[in-house]
Amino acid sequence: MTPQEKAKELFDKCELSCAGILCFDDDWEALAKLCALIAVDEIIRELTEEISPSVHGFRHQYWIEVEQEIEKL
């Protein structure tokens, strides 16, 4: 899965969750984006704490790119 596809997947999941809970709020897309960014930030933080630098490098870069794609949505 490309970073763009993962970004869209995370955004869509958060969007559906937020739309059901906060359907009265006009800014639910911004909330979905925030939820996706929070999730990716958590993943990046966990990867930063990994022991293996070789695994960390590839996976860390992937999630940085996913985060950048979410910010574009």
- Tell me whether residue 39 is in a domain: yes
14-56 pLDDT tens trace = 777 766 555 555 677 777 788 888 899 878 877 877 656 566 6
Number of structural domains found in the chain: 1
What pTM was estimated for this model as a whole? 0.67
C-beta pairs of 37-46 under 8 Å, 24+ apart in sequence: 37/67, 37/70, 37/71, 39/10, 39/14, 40/10, 40/66, 40/67, 40/70, 41/67
Q: Could you tell me the residue range of the domain that residue 72 belongs to?
A: 26-73
- Tell me whether residue 34 is in a domain: yes
